[in-house]
């Protein structure tokens, strides 16, 4: 089973069209292995992206370097999935 230990989901609030374009460049770069949950399309909608642990540092550097504001929406994806699984197990037993 695939694990997501240490993966984070970052919420990015792009402030300008230029920042949206920078995010779209990221989207097209496969080597980053990013999973966009909400795509960069306009400054009116947030962008959510699941980032593998191995690329977290680089992504945050990129965002900081371009002064693109972001927050961490999910600190550790696997932690949430473990909780979800435990809940399902409990429900199944019940």
Partner 1 sequence: QHNTRDFNFGAYHPLETIYSWMDTLVDQHPNLVTKLEIGRSYENRPMYVLKFSTGGTNRPAIWMDLGIHSREWVSQATGVWTANKIATDYDTDASLIAVLKTMDIYMLIVANPDGYVFSHTSDRMWRKTRSPNSGSVCVGVDPNRNWDAGFGGPGASTNPCSETYQGSSAHSEIEVKNIVNLIQSHGNFKSFISVHAYSQLLMYPYGYTCRSAADQAELDSVGRAAVQKLTSLYGTTYKVGNICTIIYQASGGSIDWSYDVGIKYSFAFELRDTGRYGFILPADQIIPTASETWLALKHIMEYVHDHPY
Which residues are at the interface with partner 1 (CB under 8 A)?
1-2, 4, 9, 11, 30, 35-39, 41, 45-46, 48, 50, 73-74, 77, 80-81, 83-84, 87-88, 91, 94
Longest CA–CA span in the chain (Å) reads 52
Nearer to partner 1, 33 or 61 (CB): 33
Antiparallel, parallel or unpaired: β 35-38 and 47-51: antiparallel
Q: CB nearer to partner 1: give 18 or 61.
A: 18
- Report the residue count for the chain: 94
Structure tokens at 61: 């550097």
Pick the closer one to partner 1 by CB: 66 or 85.
85
CB 23 within 8 A of CB 68: yes
CB closer to partner 1 out of 67 and 90: 90
The minimum distance between CB 62 and partner 1, in angstroms, equals 21
Helix (H, G, I), strand (E, B) or coil at 22: helix
Minimum distance of partner 1 from residue 71's CB (angstroms): 10
Read off the tokens for 82: 């473990």
């Amino acid at each position: 089973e695939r694990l997501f230990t240490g993966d984070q989901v970052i919420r990015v609030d792009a402030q300008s069209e230029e920042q949206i374009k920078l995010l779209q460049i990221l989207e097209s770069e496969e080597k980053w292995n990013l999973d966009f949950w909400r795509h960069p399309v306009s400054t009116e909608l947030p962008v959510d992206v699941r980032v593998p642990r191995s690329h977290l540092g680089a992504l945050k550097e990129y965002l900081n370097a371009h002064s693109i504001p972001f927050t961490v929406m999910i600190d550790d994806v696997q932690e949430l999935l473990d909780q979800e699984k435990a809940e399902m197990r409990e429900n199944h037993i019940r």
